[in-house]
Amino acid sequence: MDYKYLKFDLNDGILVLTIDRQKAMNALNSEVIEELNSALDDIEKNYEIEVVILTGAGKAFVAGADISEMAQMQVFEAQAFAKHGMDTFLKLEKLPRPVIAAVNGFALGGGCELMMSCDIRIASTKAKIGQPEVSLGITPGFGGTQRLARIVGLSKAKEMIFTGDAISADEAKEIGLVSYVTEPEALLDKAVEIAKAITKNSQVAVRNAKEAINAATEVDILTGMGIERAHFGLCFADEAQYEGMSAFLDKRRPEFNIK
């Protein structure tokens, strides 16, 4: 597929995926969502990609779903549009690669929902993060009510969604919505630093860990333990387990070249 709104930059296993629809602050219209969906399929099949960094071009990470596209929608179209976004964000959340959101600017509505579907989130001091949907007469529709409540707790999620007010990067860090705040020019370097710390490890183990951690907010603890046990056991079917443990015992650095 030729991508109109996505830019790909792959170096040493780290893909920087940039959403670039600057005339509309990278707002997610159906085309952008379709491109993201298709890009996730391409990424899953490409084993040269070990970690993905997702960011936005220009002033925004993503300023939400496209309001001009939504303005004329009827109930069924709105539900179909919400499903398209939700399915894509679920695919992102379940992508068997770690995904780091580098939130460079506005992450509003669908933009906040998109960053919450990523595994690790960092933000620049220019970021403004929020769920302003109620000011448009709608609720969040790409998973915001569910993910925000799980990440920051019910009270703060309700405050953010009921007021619609955006918060700063520092406030987002305070409530655990992002892990680090950087100066704008240092944002990608920080994301790459985290990505490199991941790529030095067994990618099979990282992917097994991601699947198990994702279950933590979806299932009861006993089921979660079962999922962890299954993924832990699966690691022993991979050469990386032998290499990682042998390297420790031989007092040398492991070489994980089997992805």
Q: What are phi and psi of 151, to 5 degrees?
A: -85, -45
64 HSE (CA, 13 A, CB side): 22
Known catalytic membership, residue 133 = yes
With CB under 6 A as the contact rule, the residue among 14, 15, 54, 66 that binds ligand CO8 is 66
Q: Which residues pair with 15 in a beta bridge?
A: 10, 52
Determine which residue in the list 70, 101, 195, 240 makes contact with ligand CO8, applying CB under 6 A. Answer: 70
The helix (run of H) or strand (run of E) holding residue 65 is none
Chain-centre distance for alpha carbon 63: 15
Q: Cβ-count burial of 92 within 10 angstroms (0-12 exposed, 13-18 middle, 19+ buried)? A: buried
By CB under 6 A, is residue 56 in contact with ligand CO8?
A: no
Selected from 19, 25, 32, 33, the binder of ligand CO8 by CB under 6 A is 25
User: CB of residue 109 vs ligand CO8: minimum separation in angstroms?
Assistant: 2
Which positions from 192 to 231 touch ligand CO8 by CB under 6 A, shown as an x/- string?
----------------------------------------
Q: Which is nearer to ligand CO8, 60 or 240 (CB)?
A: 60
Measured from the CB atom, is 115 or 240 closer to ligand CO8? Answer: 115
Using the contact rule CB under 6 A, the part of the chain among 40-48, 137-145, 208-216, 227-235 near ligand CO8 is 137-145
Residue 143: CA atoms inside 13 Å, Cβ hemisphere, count?
22
Q: Which amino acid belongs to residue 77?
A: E
Q: Per the residue annotation, which of 44, 133, 211, 228 is the catalytic one?
A: 133
Per-residue contact string for residues 82-121; x = within reach of ligand CO8 by CB under 6 A:
x--x--------------------x-xxx-----------
Q: 138 to 167, contacts with ligand CO8 by CB under 6 A? A: 140-142
* Maximum C-alpha span of the chain: 65
Q: How many residues does the chain have?
A: 259
Q: Which residues pair with 65 in a beta bridge?
A: 28
Q: Which of 50, 69, 93, 113 is catalytic?
A: 113
Of 127, 107, 141, the C-alpha closest to 181 is 127
The pair of three-digit structure tokens given for residue 154, joined into one six-digit string: 């019910």
Q: Applying CB under 6 A, which residues contact ligand CO8?
A: 24-25, 27, 63-68, 70, 78, 81-82, 85, 106, 108-110, 132-133, 136, 140-142
Catalytic residues: 113, 133
